[in-house]
Structure 1
Amino acid sequence: MKCKHFLLPLFILITHHCLAQFNDTTHYYTNFSSAGSINKTDQTSTYLLNNSFKFGIKKKTFAMNFNNNWIYGKADHIISNNDFATSLDFNLLRNDSARFYYWGLANYTTSVSLKINNQLQAGTGGAYYIVNKKNTVFNISDGILFDRGDLFLDDGTHDVYSTYRNSFRVFFKFVIKDLIVFDGSDFIQNSLTRRSDYIIRSTTNLSVKLRKWLSFTTSYNYNRMNRTARENSLLSYGLTAEKYF
């Protein structure tokens, strides 16, 4: 049987205003990205859209970030992803060269793929720069979050719960000859009362600079919600345009 196969990757980050480095006159940044894919055969069709918006402020002793991400997709006309996350976080430092700082976080998530109807997290903790240089950054953080969740379990149970979690994160960034940037962050959030209740979030990015303002970027995201026994992963790639102001 003759089969027609059409694959169209549309992973293009269409307007990406990113502030990778703050200075005495630069205190704000915005970041908008949009990516997607379409895959069609004679028997199946799938598509996925991935959109995000970020806004940040940084002063000598204070930094704040507002992040939003929405992923929507269908497989054979059935919704596979309708995942939205928004977060507001801040850092408090003694000065702009301090290795240790305090952080706070508020995060809201709803996700079809992870069976999260609603989830709200809020908490605080501390972080430490093991290495903090222009071309190499390695940072670890730890703290306590209050988690209020409304989930759907595999057996159809409507699970509404509250728990405190330990939130541990590793962040890294490497810049090679101002042309290649490799960075990522990995979270594990364990419930303090239930060993099997944990959350894993991981993001890894690789960017190759084509021009001063243009890069080719590949990003891999992985999430697991062990309470619902669900996980998802997303590999995206495209062009990133940067503007400093």
Structure 2
Amino acid sequence: MSTNAREAQEFLRLFKCVVDTGADVLVPFTKNKLLTSYNGNFERFLDDKKHELFHLWHSKRLLCCACPPAGCILKRTGHMDNWIFKKMYDDSGYEEGGHITRKNGKVEQLCVHKYVTRNIGIHELDIIALSFLLRNLANLLPNETTALDTIRTNRSMICHAYSTNCFNMALLNKAWSELDTALVDLTDPSYKGVIKKQIKYLRMVELEKEEITELMTNVEEAIKVSVFLKQVLDRPLKHL
């Protein structure tokens, strides 16, 4: 892939903005929306929300041992991808046999204790995972939802690109404009000016050879991960 073309250089700057500035904005935004009552402790949050997240992940409408007798009705704006759940939990926990019920040979209830919270910080999640948690578990204002969707859409477009020069300048400029607005919208008021300056700097900076090499490596890795995840997610999930 050539990095001399204007479009390729602009693509790399945009990639850096989405990955670096996106994390600078979304991690504190998510902490503020989801972790305030947990004193910022993400593991405590995951322990507390395991039942809800389990049902957001599980593709079948099954009960679990944490469900109330009347059944479980949870807000659900989308199905959690397999890799997101496994990033936060592993299946090394003790599974109580008595918590699993079957009727006519068909499983009706699972044991949620099988899934154990991983030792993970919220900063270790990417934009897609953070976005899912926010959309399903946070009370978002309409403009926050719009901004979040804009960031996620542009992140997906950029990180799923098949090369650094597959987009024309018109599309890249549109992405810059959308990201500028969305990222600033989700930034704490006292830091909005800082983020605007950071985005402006990224649009103008002349990338050095070493940074281009590093960004190219990151882009190629993102493309590989995207292809791998697509292959994984195309397979039917097996939770039992």
Q: Shorter-chain TM-score: what band?
A: under 0.3
Q: Which has the larger radius of gyration?
A: 2
User: If the length of structure 2 is used for normalisation, what is the TM-score?
Assistant: 0.24
More helix by share: 2
User: If the length of structure 1 is used for normalisation, what is the TM-score?
Assistant: 0.24
Higher relative contact order (Cα pairs below 8 Å, separated by 6+ residues): 2
